[in-house]
Each structure stands twice: as structure tokens, then as C-alpha cells.
Amino acid sequence: MRRQKRVLLGTLCAAALCPLGAIAQDGDHGHDDDEIIVTGSPIAHPEHESIIAASVLTKEDLAKRGEASLGELLRREPGVSSTFFGPAASRPIIRGLGGDRVSILDSGIGSIDASSVSDDHAVAVEPATAERVEIVRGAATLYYGSSAAGGVINVFDGRIPSKVPEGGIDGGLRTSLGSVDESVEAAGGFNVQAGKLGNADLVLHADGFFRETNDYEIPGFAESETLRALEEEEAGEGEEEEVFGIVENSDIETKGGSIGGSLVFENGFIGISGKVMRSNYGVPGADHHEEGDEEEETVRIDLEQERFDLMGEFNGDFLIFETVKIRLGYADYIHQELEGAEIGTTFKNEGYEGRIELLEKEFGNFRGASGFQFRHRDFEAIGDEAFTPPNITNQVGVFTVREYERGNFHIQVAGRYEHTDMEARSVGLTRQFDTVSVSAGFGVEPTENLFFGVNLLRTERAPAPEELFSDGPHLATNAFEIGNPTLGKETARGVETSLHGEFGPVSLTVNGFYTDYNDFVALIPNGEEEDGLPVFEFVANDTTFKGFEALAEADLFSVAGFDVTGSAQLDFVRARFKDDAGNVPRIPPLRGILGLEATSSHLDASAEVELADEQPNITAFELPTDGYALVNLAATWRPGGEDHGLSVQLRADNITDEDARLHTSFLKDVAPLPGRNFKVTLRGVF
């Protein structure tokens, strides 16, 4: 089976890089509908003219997926994987980097939660209400700070309207049922033109969502074959009854909503919103065992966030500027880790963040933009598992980007200075960091349908408070974590290349990267034990990351009113510590996806095969992971055709009931991905 999967991956590699053009029919696959990316730079670009590796998921793309967490929603995107700490807590990983190195943004401002502290903490951004997601692969520290050293996920949910809806009102409703976990989901929202205030239109917004699931089903044992063999070797047979057919304590109940309003005028808008989110979910594999008590108590997380935002954009003549963008956000976040009926640990995070961008007028062939950003984070953990002491972080940053364009040539240079103060008063520790990050990119369009870009970068990242101050047991990761308050700045030097091409009916995107880190911070076991847990320390090693993403899409043919398209993608990352210090833990293996889709005015059908190779490149206390092949099918029926908003979708995910485990997950050996799932979704748009 492993050999067959390797052969399939090899075939996929060839398909992603070249031969789709040989089977494609003549057609037009131009750039007219390319999405504009606003996250990668204050100066927005279409996808096919982006020097950095960035992409967009539209509302239509998101409607086809309907996952419970942001990590699972984006996991099949090129270069993106997931922490998968159960269905509720799944954070995106970009090119093998996660945690504090991937910034999760809520319409341009941080999510202001505790998701970067630990993989079992859910992201306080709800996929059900997302209207658009932008993904930046690679360092985005120039625009979003140290927490974007590995990439950015920017989620837009439209709760602050930026335009007047056509006809005075628009919105949508969606509900779905799933078989693998008996899930029930519903989400909806609308914008309405409520009247006039002077020359401005008042537009109001409201949305809400609800999700409830049971424990999800799996095709075999919860523990992997590798782990069961290891336990049998260490303890002998018959020591423990293995869980089969289900992942216990993986149920979810989530609900929330928001209201907002904007004044929309001829040259911009300004608006405010309030949002509330409640979630209660189980943490698989994190059972708590009290001394002298034979019964284990399941661990659950009860999460709550209240958030308020202000956003505005103004276009006009402001000295040398033509556009001013303002974004402010405040959130009060708390979650309690429940051990049975008792509260074990409480995590609190109160913070605010602001951002101002100034886009300059064009001057000849030159364009420019600058900005200012500030952030305050007051984090506190109280209880048995308070492995990080209370700490306060204050951060300010300024950035600028300069672009020169002449004919087919594009040049971009950018820089950012950032000052960070971190203080853990309870342990008497204070650290300050001044970081400078710069980049220089060059792009060329040798023909109208071909773009090639190279970006050189040198970035600096201040260590996260968890990396500096941690000192205690962390049951979710089954580790006693010890920080290092003497850690310095993490410096990366790298090169990234991007190729975007249109070859008749075939489009091709290939991104390559190589990054050399000085003092890359990682959580590494030291071979000791504390409180019955293996000790993991945050240590700094020189490290290299390298890899690529490739995506090919083609218009194949038309038959019986259906337009048939095909796609093939492949991504790979290899990460090693220097000086023979071994492999970086939890790095995703070689992975590819083959897709085929047929679309018509009333009916769409698609098939997808996701192939992941085995991952034998592991570090100490890490087990290898087998490869897998997942087959997914979907069909969408629109009774009234494309011009009507009603649709019914039927999905069959993992239809072969494959035992699939993500190497990037701490839980991979105790919680595989869900088994065969049938899901029906009813969607209406008006």
C-alpha cells in the first residue's frame, strides 16, 4: 500500500508541474476574474501579479467546505496543514510553521484569543460566518509583526459593511446535517440599508451561528498501530482496553453572533461592530487522573469571547496620500478547562490592537504606503495547569513599502521596525526587543500571461511570552514545558520564488522557498521527567526550512451542458536543525490533491483524492506517521439555476473510511481524522 501511494504521489507531482496542458482543450482561461489580495501588502495586487505567495478563498469557495474549525477549513490549500486538536481546536499551519509564527487576523486585526498559546485552544474566529479568506505563505512580519513570521490567515466576515447592498438588502442562510458526528449546524446573516444620515447611507449588519456535534466516528482504533505496538512492547498485552470506532470526548457546542453598522459615503465608509462567541468542546486524549483516583476525568474547554471593532476607509486628497485605512479592535477572552465537574485552569486574555495604513498618491512609476500598528495583550492563566505565568505584552511597529513599475518590470522593497515589551511580574521577569525586518522583491511579466517573482527577505521575530516564561505541566500536549527567559531574537534569511502562468486553458502556480534561521525556537524534549510528564524545553537552534507548492488548473472539455475542469496540487516542506541536531518536530509530509469538477447552470459535481506520504523524518519522542489516501465526493443542485440563491449540497468525505492521521497534530496517535461522513447542506442567498 505504501508503494502504491508513493507511485500515486509521483504521478501527481508530474501532473501538477506539466502534463495538464497536453490533455486540455482550447479555451480561454484569462485573469479577468482574479481576486485582489489586500493582505500581502498595503498596495493591493491581483493574485497573478503577487511577488509573495498569496491566494484568496471567495464566499463561493468557502460555501463548498463548511468545516467546524479554521484549520480544517484551510487544510487542503497548497502549503497549509492543520494542528487538528480535535474538530473544534484546529489551527492552520503554513509551511510547517504554526503557533505564534502564524498570525490569525479578523479583518486585519489579530484574533485576540489564546489559540497561539496551545494547540488545544480554539481560534475565536468562526468559519461559518466567513465571507472571504486571504492566505499569505511565508514571512509577513513586514506588515503584521513578529507573529506573522510564518504567514497570515486573514478572515473577513463582513460584520462592518463597506458598501450599500444592491436592492437595499442582501444576506444568506445555511443549515447542514452530518453523519460522522451527528452534527447540526446553522448560520445566517444580512445587510440592510436602513436610511440616510446626511449624504451617507446607514447600513446595518447582523449574523449568527450554531453548531452541535457528538463524538465523531473513526474506522478503527483511536490509537495508531505504531503506538499500540509500542505500548504492547512496554507493558504487554491485555493491559488496557482500546477505544474502537470513535474518538471519545470530541463533541462540540458552539454559538454566537454579531451586530454592526456603517456609514457609507461616496469616498469611503466608517463602521463599528460587536461580536460574542461561546464554545464548549471536549479535548480528546487529555484525560486528567487525580492521585489515588482510579477514574480518569475528561477535559473540556468552556470558551467565551466578547469583541468590539471599528473600521474605516477614506479616499481623497490628503496631502501626499490618497487613501487612509483605520482598524481598531478590543476583545475580552476567557476559557476554563474543566476536569470533570471542576475548573482546573482558567485562561484570560484581554487585549486591543490598532492599525493605520496610508496609501500614497502615484508619483510617476512609483507607489508607496506606510503604516503604524500597536498591540496590547494582558494574559493570565490560573489553576493546576498554569504553565505560563501572567504576562503583559505591549508592541508598536511602523512599516513602509515602496514599489516601482515600468513596463513589464516590478520592484518592491519594504521594511518594518518593531518594539516589544514583555513582563511577567509574578516571576520578576521583563524582556524588551527591537526588531527590524526588510525585504526586496523583483517581478517580471515576459508575456501577458506569465509572471515570475523573486523575493529576498531578512526578518526578526521576538520570542513569544510562552517561549520565555513557561514553567509547568501542560496536559494537552502531555509535557512539562520549560521556557527560556534568556532567548534572543529569531532571525531568518530567505528567498522565495513565485511563478504564475496561463497556457491556453491551463493555469499554473509554483512557489518555492528556502529559509535559513538563526536561533529558531522549538519545544524539544530533554529526556527528563517532572510530575510524571516528559520535560520539554524551549531551545534555540540554527535551522533550515525549504520546500514548494504547485497548483495546476485546466479547462478540460464541455459535454452535455457541463464544463469539466481538472486540478492537481502538490506541496512539500523539509525542516532540519543544523549541526546534526535532527529534524524539526511535526513537519507535514509530501502531500498532493487531484480534483475533477463538472459544472452547469443547475448541477455541479466534483471528486477529489488527497494523498499524503508517510513521514519518517521525526525527532525524539515523536513517532512516524503512515501515509493515507482520502477520497471526497460532492454534488450541488440549484433548483432555480445560477440566478437563484437556493442550493442543496451533498458531500461524502473520506468515502473509503480511511484511517488518516496528520503528522502535524500532537494527537495524531490517539485521534485520527473523522471516518466516512455524509453531509447535506441547504443554502439560500438573497
CATH code where residue 259 lies = 2.40.170.20
pLDDT at residue 344, as a whole number: 86
Q: How far apart are CA 477 and CA 665, in angstroms?
A: 10
C-alpha cell at 108: 486585519
Q: What are 164-223's pLDDT values in tens digits?
A: 999 999 999 999 999 999 999 999 999 999 999 999 999 999 999 999 999 999 999 999
Q: What are 419-439's pLDDT values in tens digits?
A: 999 999 888 899 999 999 999
304 CB-near residues (< 8 Å, 6+ apart): 276, 277, 278, 279, 333, 334, 335
| Residue 654 DSSP one-character state | S
pLDDT greater at residue 533 or residue 331: 331
Q: How many domains does the chain have?
A: 1
pLDDT at residue 79, as a whole number: 96
The residue written with cell numbers 446626511 in the block is: 198
Q: How far apart are CA 599 and CA 647, in angstroms?
A: 13
Q: Which of 59-68, 114-123, 392-401 has the lowest mean pLDDT?
A: 59-68
Q: What are 252-271's pLDDT values in tens digits?
A: 999 999 999 999 999 999 99
pTM of the model: 0.92
Q: What are 446-482's pLDDT values in tens digits?
A: 998 999 999 999 999 999 999 999 999 887 777 899 9
- What stretch of H or E contains 22? helix 20-23
Q: How far apart are CA 70 and CA 90, in angstroms?
A: 6
pLDDT greater at residue 40 or residue 464: 464
Q: Which of 491, 492, 529, 497 is nearest to 510 (CA)?
A: 497
pLDDT at residue 50, as a whole number: 82
Q: How far apart are CA 171 and CA 181, in angstroms?
A: 28
CA atoms 511, 512, 518, 519: torsion sign: positive
Q: Please say whether the beta carbons of 223 and 235 come within 8 A.
A: no
In the predicted model, is pLDDT for residue 11 greater than 70? no
Strands 151-156 and 102-106: parallel
pLDDT greater at residue 98 or residue 384: 98
Q: How far apart are CA 76 and CA 88, in angstroms?
A: 17
In the predicted model, is pLDDT for residue 581 greater than 90? no
In the predicted model, is pLDDT for residue 416 greater than 70? yes
In the predicted model, is pLDDT for residue 59 greater than 90? no
Mean pLDDT highest for which of 88-92, 113-117, 548-552?
548-552
pLDDT greater at residue 239 or residue 538: 538
The order of strands in the sheet holding 109-110 is: 53-57, 132-137, 151-156, 102-106, 109-110
Mean pLDDT of the chain: 90
What sections of 430-529 are H helices per DSSP?
Answer: 465-469
- β-bridge mates for residue 595, sequence order: 567, 608
546 HSE (CA, 13 A, CB side): 5
The residue written with cell numbers 479577468 in the block is: 32
pLDDT at residue 236, as a whole number: 64
Q: Which of 651, 643, 646, 673 is nearest to 606 (CA)?
A: 651
60 CB-near residues (< 8 Å, 6+ apart): none
Cα 26 to chain centroid distance, Å, stands at 36
In the predicted model, is pLDDT for residue 288 greater than 70? no
pLDDT at residue 547, as a whole number: 98
pLDDT at residue 26, as a whole number: 36
pLDDT at residue 3, as a whole number: 44
In the predicted model, is pLDDT for residue 587 greater than 50? yes
Residue 428 φ/ψ, nearest 5 degrees: 70, 35
Q: What are 591-621's pLDDT values in tens digits?
A: 999 999 999 999 999 999 999 999 999 988 8
User: Under the phi-then-psi rule, with left for phi > 0, alpha for psi from -120 to 50, and beta for the rest, what region is 364?
Assistant: left
- pLDDT band, very low/low/confident/very high, at 40 (cuts 50, 70, 90): confident
**Mean pLDDT, to the nearest integer, of 545-556?**
98
- pLDDT band, very low/low/confident/very high, at 232 (cuts 50, 70, 90): confident
Please state, as a whole number, how many other Cβ atoms lie within 10 Å of the Cβ of residue 593. Answer: 22
Q: Which of 632, 549, 630 is nearest to 17 (CA)?
A: 549
C-alpha cell at 466: 510562552
Q: Please say whether the beta carbons of 350 and 356 come within 8 A.
A: no
Domain span including residue 239: 2-685
Q: Please say whether the beta carbons of 395 and 375 come within 8 A.
A: yes
Strands 603-612 and 628-637: antiparallel
Q: How far apart are CA 583 and CA 547, in angstroms?
A: 15
Please give the full DSSP string across 121-136, using - where no structure is assigned: SPPS--GGG-SEEEEE
Q: What are 293-350's pLDDT values in tens digits?
A: 555 678 899 999 999 999 999 999 988 999 999 999 999 999 999 888 788 889 999 9
pLDDT at residue 221, as a whole number: 96
Please give the full DSSP string across 125-187, using - where no structure is assigned: --GGG-SEEEEEES--HHHH-GGGSSEEEEEE--SS--SPPGGGEEEEEEEEEETTTTEEEEE
Q: Which of 684, 662, 681 is nearest to 673 (CA)?
A: 662
What proportion of the chain, given as a percentage, has pLDDT over 90?
75
Residue 482 φ/ψ, nearest 5 degrees: -125, 120
- pLDDT band, very low/low/confident/very high, at 287 (cuts 50, 70, 90): low
Q: How far apart are CA 493 and CA 514, in angstroms?
A: 9
In the predicted model, is pLDDT for residue 630 greater than 50? yes
In the predicted model, is pLDDT for residue 17 greater than 70? no
Q: What are 112-143's pLDDT values in tens digits?
A: 999 998 888 999 999 989 999 999 998 888 89
Q: What are 653-684's pLDDT values in tens digits?
A: 999 999 999 999 999 999 999 999 999 999 99
pLDDT at residue 295, as a whole number: 57
